[in-house]
């Protein structure tokens, strides 16, 4: 079952990264022209994290529990961590999978 959940996490990470980039490109370029300091706020990063967490909660996706069988005291904590991973994007999630969750590791 971990493979299915991991594939879902990868798909959500890819969608989050792609759509946040696509949907915020024009508004952010408009804002950067008027207020150059907007670039320092890293709006895309935080928007991606928020969308990733929202998606993880929507799908009740907890990769830590799925991979290791350990559940946090607050059940939503694992989902929150998974959502933050999804929000970081597919490259980061791939690195996490390769190092910690891969059957070869």
pTM above 0.85, yes or no: no
> What angle is formed at CA 91 by the lines to CA 3 and CA 96, rounded to 5 degrees?
55
Count of residues making up the chain: 105
Considering only residues 39 and 26, tell me which one the structure prediction assigns the higher pLDDT: 26
> Tokens 């990470």 correspond to what residue?
13
In this structure, how many other beta carbons lie within 10 angstroms of the beta carbon of residue 91? 11
Encode pLDDT of 34-82 as tens digits: 998 888 888 988 999 999 999 999 999 998 898 888 989 998 999 999 9
Query: For the chain, how long is the longest CA-to-CA vector?
Result: 50
Query: Average pLDDT for residues 6-30, to the nearest whole number?
Result: 89
- CA 3 to CA 9: how far, in whole Å? 10
CA 45 to chain centre: 10
> Tokens 């830590």 correspond to what residue?
64
């Amino acid at each position: 079952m971990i493979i299915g959940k991991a594939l879902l996490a990868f798909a959500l990470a890819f969608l989050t990264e792609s759509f946040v980039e696509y949907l915020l490109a024009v508004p952010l370029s408009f804002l950067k022209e008027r207020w150059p300091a907007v670039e320092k706020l890293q709006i895309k990063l935080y928007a991606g994290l928020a969308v990733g967490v929202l998606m993880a909660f929507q799908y009740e996706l907890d990769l830590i529990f799925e991979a290791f069988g350990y559940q946090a005291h607050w059940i939503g904590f694992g989902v929150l961590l998974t959502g933050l991973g999804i929000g970081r994007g597919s490259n980061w999630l791939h690195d996490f999978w390769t190092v910690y969750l891969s059957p070869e590791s």
